Structures are given as structure tokens and as C-alpha cells.
Structure 1
Amino acid sequence: MRRIVLAICTAFVFGTVVNAHAVNVGMYGLTVADSADEFMQITKSNGFGLIYSGYDIASLNKAQTYGLKCLVNFNVSASMASDETQWKAFLNLLRSKVTELKSHPAIYAWYPVDEPDGQRISPAKIKEMVNIIRSVDTSHPIMTVVYDSTRWGNYLSYFDIIGVDPYLKLTRRGDYEKPEVVATVLKKLKSDLNKLKLRKRVWSVLGAFDLQPKDSDVVPPYRKPTPEEFNAMLKMAIDEKVDGILVYSLYAAKDNPTYKRWNLPVDDPNLWQAVRKVPQVVNK
């Protein structure tokens, strides 16, 4: 997710069969809100039910008051994993926090690391981290998102939920990828899982953000989809029978040094309307 910043939401109905293939539906990083309470209220009122959170009890308690579930993130980084002192301190923190929080009713899953393949974190470190979580808690799934198909095979076995984030990226040719990249990447991930004989839940993260450089000489590495392109991307994910669809709408927050703040509902109301309809479209 090119560094997750704020939130994930989902319209999954726990314990209820919505259709033959119920799909988790969520949203990362809606920046319309400047406070946790405002964000959670907007999240809830638009029919989403799961938010991304930190590993503190206060965040989980607040989410619970709004009837929301959480993906609990630990923000593991390559620099942390490459420093043995930092790594040992992190593993101690991880064990302590999972032990403390595992029974909290607001937890949906653990999200210890984002894009370990892109960060090139040692698979041995990932295994060590995941083993600690599972030694303490076996009732919640562990999730990550991967994006580098040349490396992700080294990480797939360690997680219960595997997401991919095929955004409309700038290519070496100087143009941007087309919406069809969603189907291409999902097919590749599913093919690799089959080759490895792994049964995992597959989720797709769809980009709904725009990068507006503060410096006119900066070429954005991604572009936003049009509402029509977003709808096409959503259909591709549904057609691939994914287990979850997350919409990532935050890339540049208000304090980003390179890009202007992106506020989806205000900056592109038409795209926002398409995003708001995702839960209805997916599980209709």
C-alpha cells in the first residue's frame, strides 16, 4: 500500500452469509476527517465496518464504541528488521502486545508488516515474527499485502490473508498502467499460490487516490482512475472471486512534503460516489 497511513474499513457481515461468496470490503486512508472520531463516524455512516488501527488499547476501545473491527498494524520496516537490537526489542513488544490485546472484541486480524517483498525484509525475520504471533494467538488471521511478483513467493506461506495492490503505476515506457493490471496481478498471485499448494484468502487493494506534486517538475508515480476505470477495476476483482476488496484513498496526507493533500470526497466527488457504492456492488 506504499506505506499504510490511516485506515481500513470493511462491510463484512460477521457470521452471516451475504451471498455464495461473501467478500470483505474495505477502505484505506480516507482523509476527509481530521480526527479519529470524525473518521470513525464517516466510516460507520457509509456502511463500512473495519478500520486499520495501531496496537494500543485506546484505539481498539474507541473502535469498539463505534461498532468497528480493527486490523492491528505494527509497522515493521526494513531498517528495524536489519538492526538486531531494534529487532529484538520489536519482538518483545510484539509478544507483549499480542498477549495483551488478543481477547479484545474489536480485533479482526493482525497486520504486522506491509509489503515485505518490496521492503526486502528477510523471510527468516518474517517467519520469526509470525511464529511469535501464532504462539500467543491462533484465533485471529495474519495479513499482509505484497506487490513484487518476482519476490512475493518467499513470503506467501507465512500469512493467512494475502493482498495485492495493483495501482495505476508509471511504467518505464513513460505511460501509466491500465485498469487491466488488476486482473493480471490477481491471476499471477493465484497461479503462484496454486504452484506452491497454498490455500490463502486473496484480497485486492484498489487505488482511488491522486498525487498532485507541489513541485511542477515532479512526475507522479501513480495516477488516479476515472470513476469508469474504478468500476472496471472493481469488476475485475469481483470476477477473480477475491475474498476481500480494499479501496486505498490516501497517499498524500496534509503534511506530505512532496504532494498536496488528497481529500477524495472533496477533490473528486464522482470518484467518491463510485467508492461509496463498493459494498453494495460487491455483496448485492
Structure 2
Amino acid sequence: MYIKILLLTVYLSFFTSFLPSYADFKNLIPNPSLEEDKDMDGLPDFWEMEGGVKWEKKGCYGKRSVSIFGKGVLRCKIEGIKPNKYYLLSFFVKRDGFRDGEYPYMKIFDQKFYLNELFSFGGWVKLSWLLKSENEGVTDFFLINPGMTHKLWFDCISLIEFSIRPISPLGGKAINGDLVNFMWEIPRTDHILDIEIEVSRDEGFKRKRIIRIASPKGNYCQIKGLNKGKWYWRIGVFKNRKRIFMSKIQTFTVLNESTKPLLKPINKVDTINLNNFFPIGIYGARIEAFSELKEAGFNSVQCYSRDLDTIEKFIKNAKRYGLKALICIPKEAWERDVSSFFSRVRDLESILAWYLEDEPEGRGVAPSYIWRLRDYIFKMDSRHPTALVIVRSKKAWDYGPAVDILMIDTYPIPMMPLTWLSESIDEARRAVFYEKPIWAVVQAFDWSKSRLYGRNPTYEEERCLTYLSIVHGASGIFYYTFKSKNYYIKDYPKHWLDIKRIVKELNKVYPLLLAKDALDISISSNNKSIHHLTKFVDKGLISKYGKGIIKEGYYLIAVNADPISVVAEFRTNCFSKARVLFEERDIIIKDGKFTDYFGPYCVHIYSLI
């Protein structure tokens, strides 16, 4: 164990030459470890407890924590809050079981936050937020169990005003040479923040140079090539492109004339696997099934194994059958040098992406840690992108900056509307500012194998989920799952045939999946149940993939997301006829509109003529 920890330490230090400096940023939470009881009343000082709250004799790190069983509230008053400032809030929480739909929540700054990312249990999980205060100087903080079936524990609570403190250079410091080292201090955070160092010859920063780095990279950077004379500098911090802090202006003086500026490499992945390929994949694929999966029309397969030999075998066989592999980092990377492995695989086109984590938000895996994994992979293999999957789309704002591809695996059937998936895709796309691929992981299994309820999706639901994802901007589709610990899709022959039928259809319209949205065409519908998207298939796609039913031109994909039949009207002034693919019928467009019938969860694909 000591050797593994030592190797891990070396591995993490490989990411950056300088780790962030953590000065004494004040924790505003009174008695944050819940251990002090100076008044000897048998309760943690500064905290109030109501309902099923108990002061426990064992904590996450220290000797104490607080548990809540059934309805209960843990509350304290926090003083010293500055108006309109950003604060880092974090605490450790544990639950001893899970029941779907049951989550605790917290209140702070007069806002309510459900902790629905807490779907793992049995161990302590760290949760953290970056929150903005309002006008209060004092705020009440609540941790609330609304009456869940299972018990909760809380410990190690922290609230720190976010700031960044320049360390060097300060006070007009004279710099010999043309290489300037910049250093600063920031609070410890699991978030990925964008740090911008601005340097300028004028105090108003009318003309400036900006150097951008991500916060997990460290608290240090170098700038080369500054001209002789006085310079001004400051540091701005951004979260999801919103500025959360700007430091005071500092000065320094360069004593020597500059030499050639130092050019920094751009940390960007080759887009070979991102732009010209639409994954149609399946989770839990087995090597012995590759032939069947390829014949069914899948072009991608996912593997959970972290064993190096298994991964190499998986990649080798994926190449043999013309499949692309979504694979994990081998566990041996934590134990020994595996650079020879990466040198063997970095040029293989059979690797789709590196699968860094599976639902990390549920287990408290820090976004900053994922960022460092991605940085490590980039150093080992800059050709292939990285990916992870989340189930809580609100966490896309935290994990989106850490990877190249974000995957969404909300499984709605039978308890939730199918639009849970499309709404999650929408939020994920917003969180990455429409600049990174979002892949949908579509439910293709029965929840009852691991929970008290569930069933396989019907053919109509499966097809609806698939096209609903595409309409809302998914640039890849994976189905979960071929085989897992509790489920094997081939035990359900009809369901497996349904999946293969949909996959065959996706292959028939493959150029359409890669086509750009037709932003020059306006088509509207009078029915909110209908989700639709217009695409244009160009000559380039037809020349490369055009052996099927898709020809050059405009196409409308329309999906009824509701379990009831509807009649929808579409308005467009650009076309005279809509040919319905797979249905051998045409609809005349008259006076700029046409209507069509949609059964429950029905999908229509129109070729617009």
C-alpha cells in the first residue's frame, strides 16, 4: 500500500511543477469539525439540532460528527458574510443506504439546494459549491433530512470567502532578465477555475497580454518577452466564463530588453475522433460478442475493465472487427511506468476515447482530479480524447471543463418522463458552451434487476429516446447495457431485436447523424410535445456515406416525447412536399404548412423537397 501511495504521489506531481499554495483562508463556519463542547451541554457549540439529530462519537476525520435519522435539522448562524461575494462551501456527508428519490437538502444565503448528486452510500463523500452571497452580513445555514428512509452523517464543514492573493512580483520588484515568474495563493478547491494573468504597460490595462491557465495546473506561471520598463499585473478568476474575483493591481520593473517570446503549446486533442464520426455504441460489450455487435450495426464498444492486458486485448479485437473502443486508464498506471503501453496504442484508430470516470458526482470525485487525469492522458496520448459520464446534468458545469467529451446517462423508464434525458443534454450543452461533444447514454436495460421496480424500454420508447437525444444535439449514442453484473440483454430476445432494429435504422440515416443543423431554414410546430430539428446533408457527406436512403438536401426529424397521440402542424415556406422516410408516404405542403399524426413516442423523419 505504501508503494502504491508513493507512486500515486509521484504521478500527481507529474501534472504540474508547482502545486497550489493554500494560505490561511478563514473558515467562517463556527466549530466546523463539530467537536467543541466548551459549555459541556452534550451538544456541539454554535449548532442547533431539531428532530432526529444525534451527536456521534465518530467522525470523518476527527472524533465527532452529527447524524440525522428521519426528519431533522442541523443549523448554525454564520457571521462575517460580505455582500455579493463568492464563497466556497464544502462538507463531508455519508448515507447508510439509498432509496430512489430520497435526498437531503441544505439552505444558505436564502437559497435551497437539493443534494441529489448523493446517490452513493456507505462511505464519506465530499460535496462542494461555489456560491454567491447577497446582501446579508449574517446567514443561517441548514442541513436537512426531510424524512428519508436512511440515516445521514455530516462533518468537516467549511465556508471560505473566495479570493486570490498575488505573491510575486510585488511592489515594483526589479526583474533581471526577461523571464518573469508569477505566483499567487488561492483557497483549496475541487472546482476547475480559469485563472487569467493580465500584464500591461499602462495602469488602465488598455493594452494587455493575457495568460490563461486552469486552477488545477497550480499557482505559478512564467512570461517571457516583456520589454524593459515598468509593468502592471493582476489576476482574474473565472468559473464557467463568469468572473468571480479580480485581484488588486501589482507592479514590477523589467531591467533588460526582451528576447524572443516563449511560445506555449496549445493543449488540444486531435479532432479525428470528434468531428467525422458518430458513435453508435453499447456499454458492457464482451469481446466474444464483437462479431455480433458489428453485424448489428454498432461501431463502438465500451469496456469497464482496468486491467492492462484485458484493455490491450479489447483494443486489438475492436480493431479486428472494425469497432472503436471506449476504454479506461489501466490500473497499472497507478503502480508502475506504463509509458510503453501508451506508446503502443496512441496511434491506434480503434481507440474512440479514454473513459476517465463513471458518474463521479455520486462518489465525490473532484472535478480538479479529473482535470489532472486528463492532463496526464494528454501527455501520454494527445491523439485520443477523454470522456466521462454524469447522471446529474447540473454537474456538467463542474465536470465539463475537465474532459473533451461529456456523456449523459439519465435512465427515465419507468419512473420519469423521457424528456429527462433531452433536458439533461440541453443543460450539458449549455455548460460546455456548445463547444464540446455531448454523447447520450440511452437506457436499454431493466431497473428491476437492481431495484424494486423497472422494466425494459419498449421499442417505441427506445427509438424515441434515441432520436430525442439527436434532436437535442447529442453527437453520439451509446446504449446501456449489453452485459453487467445483474443484466444480460440477450436474456430478453425481443428487447435485443428492438435495439438492433434501431441501430440498423441509425446506420441507414448515418449521413444525417453527421449533418450540420440547418440554421438557414425556419420550421415551427404548434405542439409542445413535438421536439424537432432540421438538418442539411451536403455533397461531402453523401460522397463518403451516401449509399443508403439519405440524399443531399434538407431533413426534418420530429419526435413525440409524450405517451399520448398528437396531431402536429409544421410551418415552413421553403418546401412543397415532405417525404416520410421508412413509411413510403408523401405529405403535400400547402400554404406553407403541413400536418401529421404522431402515435405515443412516435418519430418521423421527413425529406423536405
- Give me the whole-angstrom Cα distance separating, in 2, the residues matched to 1:223 and 1:183: 20
Alignment counterpart, residue 314 of structure 2, candidates 55, 59, 62: 59
- Which residue of structure 2 aligns with residue 193 of structure 1? 432
Amino acid across the alignment from 2:320: T
Q: Deviations over 1:6-30 (max 9, x none)?
A: xxxxxxx98996xxxx632222236
Residues 240 and 16 of structure 1: CA distance in aligned 2, closer, same or farther (over 3 Å): closer
- Which residue of structure 1 aligns with residue 474 of structure 2? 242
1:184 aligns with 2:423: yes
- Which residue of structure 1 aligns with residue 293 of structure 2? 43
Alignment counterpart, residue 284 of structure 2, candidates 11, 20, 29: 29
Q: Deviations over 1:167-225 (max 9, x none)?
A: 1167xxxxx0021212211111122222xxx61111111101113449xxx513x5432
Residues 193 and 142 of structure 1: CA distance in aligned 2, closer, same or farther (over 3 Å): same
Conserved in 2, the CA contact under 8 Å of 1:71 and 1:110? yes
- Greater Rg by CA: 2
**TM-score, length-scaled by structure 1:** 0.70
After TM superposition, give the deviation of residue 123 of structure 1 in Å: 2.0
Conserved in 2, the CA contact under 8 Å of 1:209 and 1:251? no
1:136-155 matched pairs, under 5 angstroms = 136-155=380-399
Bigger share in strand: 2
- Which residue of structure 2 aligns with residue 106 of structure 1? 350
After TM superposition, give the deviation of residue 118 of structure 1 in Å: 2.3
Stretch moving more, 145-154 or 94-103: 94-103
After TM superposition, give the deviation of residue 110 of structure 1 in Å: 1.1
1:145-184 matched pairs, under 5 angstroms = 145-168=389-412, 176-184=415-423
Conserved in 2, the CA contact under 8 Å of 1:168 and 1:223? no
Residues 48 and 252 of structure 1: CA distance in aligned 2, closer, same or farther (over 3 Å): closer
Amino acid across the alignment from 1:130: R
Structure 1 counterpart SS, 2:298: coil
Amino acid across the alignment from 1:23: F
Conserved in 2, the CA contact under 8 Å of 1:25 and 1:282? no
Structure 1 counterpart SS, 2:328: strand
- Equivalences, count: 236
Alignment counterpart, residue 442 of structure 2, candidates 191, 206, 226: 206
**TM-score, length-scaled by structure 2:** 0.35
Q: Deviations over 1:50-90 (max 9, x none)?
A: 222454322222222222221122388xxxxxxxxx9xx62
Residues 263 and 103 of structure 1: CA distance in aligned 2, closer, same or farther (over 3 Å): same
Residues 95 and 148 of structure 1: CA distance in aligned 2, closer, same or farther (over 3 Å): farther
- Which residue of structure 2 aligns with residue 276 of structure 1? 503
- Give me the whole-angstrom Cα distance separating, in 1, the residues matched to 2:291 and 2:413: 32
Structure 2 unmatched runs, 5+: 1-118, 120-271, 511-549, 551-609
Residues 232 and 67 of structure 1: CA distance in aligned 2, closer, same or farther (over 3 Å): closer
CA RMSD of the aligned region, Å?
A: 3.3
1:69 aligns with 2:305: no
Residues 65 and 155 of structure 1: CA distance in aligned 2, closer, same or farther (over 3 Å): same
After TM superposition, give the deviation of residue 98 of structure 1 in Å: 3.0
Structure 1 counterpart SS, 2:393: coil
Residues 277 and 14 of structure 1: CA distance in aligned 2, closer, same or farther (over 3 Å): same
Alignment counterpart, residue 266 of structure 1, candidates 487, 493, 500: 493
Residues 149 and 91 of structure 1: CA distance in aligned 2, closer, same or farther (over 3 Å): farther
After TM superposition, give the deviation of residue 163 of structure 1 in Å: 0.9
Higher RCO, Cα 8 Å, sep 6+: 1
Conserved in 2, the CA contact under 8 Å of 1:75 and 1:112? no
Conserved in 1, the CA contact under 8 Å of 2:393 and 2:408? no
Structure 2 counterpart SS, 1:263: helix
Structure 2 counterpart SS, 1:200: coil
Residues 230 and 111 of structure 1: CA distance in aligned 2, closer, same or farther (over 3 Å): same
Structure 2 counterpart SS, 1:110: strand
Structure 1 counterpart SS, 2:447: coil
Conserved in 1, the CA contact under 8 Å of 2:390 and 2:396? yes
Q: Deviations over 1:17-54 (max 9, x none)?
A: 6xxxx632222236xxxx623x0110111122222245
After TM superposition, give the deviation of residue 263 of structure 1 in Å: 2.7
Structure 1 unmatched runs, 5+: 3-12, 77-85, 171-175
